[in-house]
Amino acid sequence: MAFATKSIQHLYKIYNANTTTIYSALRLPIARISVVQMAQRHYYNTEAHRPKITGSLTNIQSSGGTVQSLTQDGLDNKKLEEEAKEEAEEKEKREQSQRVLKYSFAFLGVFTTVGLSYVIYNLTKAKYDEHGNIIEDEFSNLPFYERIYKMLKREFNYYTKMVQEPSRNKLLPDPLKYPYIQPPYTLVLELTDVLVHPDWTYETGWRFKKRPGVDQFLEAIAPPQFEIVVYTAEQGMTVFPILDILDPNGYIMYRLVRDTTRFVDGHHVKDLNALNRDLSKVIVVDWNPKSTKFHPENTLQLPQWIGNDDDTTLYDLAAFLKTILATNVEDVREVLNYYRQFDNPLQVFRENQRKFLMQIEEEENKAQQESSKVLTSKWKPTFHWNR
């Protein structure tokens, strides 16, 4: 009985183990069969029911092309909208600019009309003296429109003359009388690029560089040797502070600025006729021939100074002027006309001076030799007598 029981238990264990094994062995193929069946369904069906790969790829490509075309269309539409928006903004700006320009012209027209009406009213209204009587002029008896035309023309000529002509008829006062000392010569100097050189940078703005030898030059030709006048086309607000620093000793006697020039052909020309001086004693030192085109015979034209530190022009100019003073030249225009033919007259003057000194030295040597011969001839009889 016990043996039978153990046999039954043993068989039961074997059965359970086999059942588990069979279940495990059968379960795994079931899953495999399903996968194989699915593969067979897609890969091993007949041609009538099997889906085509080419058609699928074509559908995929067509779908991608459709998406791409839709995206491109969207971008194009967005770009067109932006362009339309920019065009509308640009059109609005143009219209706004045109409105502003139109209003500006309208305002200018109204302002001009009112201003001209006010000017005409002031010109044509009757003027009264202190007793209440009407003051008549040369246009009082003319017709209304002719009177307006003549008055406007007179005012226009007045302001044109004020701009183009010197501010006064005599730029310098009358020469000094005895017992005061009037220098024999009048020296007219340009300021810009003769005495100073303007220089402008972003860091410093406008600066003026003093020419080498300015102090010695002004001291060498100071009154009563020369009457020094600075005559320039620069504005007085620029010239006066510079000359205050440049000439602390007051060697420069007069300062003439832009309002004393004559405006001709777009240039400010120095009018020597208004200097109130004898032109045979006037020397103008300048580098710009347009500034002195009315009187080139009175001009000593120098090369323009560009700000170099090795310049010695003013030393040579002082020697040139002192030579004129020492030789007491009656008419300086004769000397200036001779040097006017050279590009650098002071260089020619130095060369002539060197030749003149060599000539004087040769003459002195020759005179010494002749004097020595005379002395030798006088002493010869005495020497013979002693023998």
The rounded distance, in Å, linking the Cα atoms of 298 and 189 is 12
Torsion of CA 128, 133, 138, 143, to 10 degrees: 90
β-pairing, 205-210 vs 282-286, is unpaired
Is pLDDT larger for residue 54 or for residue 204?
204
pLDDT recorded at residue 62: 54
**Range 183-353: architecture per CATH:** 3-Layer(aba) Sandwich (3.40)
Whole-number average pLDDT of the chain: 82
pLDDT recorded at residue 350: 93
Confidence class of residue 385 from pLDDT cuts 50, 70 and 90? very low
- The answer, yes or no, to whether residue 177 has pLDDT greater than 80, is yes
- The answer, yes or no, to whether residue 157 has pLDDT greater than 90, is no
Does the N-terminal peptide bond of residue 179 adopt cis geometry, omega within 30 degrees of 0? yes
Domain chopping of the chain, boundaries:
84-160, 183-353
Mean pLDDT value across residues 16-37: 45
Tokens 């086999």 sit on residue:
18
Confidence class of residue 358 from pLDDT cuts 50, 70 and 90? very high
Question: C-alpha distances in angstroms, 359 versus 132, 263, 324, 352?
Answer: 83, 47, 19, 10
- 54-91 pLDDT, tens digit each: 455 455 455 555 656 667 777 778 888 888 888 888 88
3-class DSSP state for residue 234? coil
- The answer, yes or no, to whether residue 4 has pLDDT greater than 60, is no
DSSP 8-state secondary structure symbol assigned to residue 52: P
Residue closest to 211 by CA, chosen among 356, 311, 283: 311
Tokens 């010869």 sit on residue:
380
- The answer, yes or no, to whether residue 133 has pLDDT greater than 70, is yes
- 281-307 pLDDT, tens digit each: 999 999 999 999 999 999 999 999 999
Cβ atoms within 10 Å of 179's Cβ, excluding its own: 5
Q: Answer whether 0.75 is exceeded by the pTM.
A: no
- The answer, yes or no, to whether residue 31 has pLDDT greater than 70, is no
Segment among 19-28, 112-121, 326-335, 362-371 with least mean pLDDT: 19-28
Mean pLDDT value across residues 171-194: 95
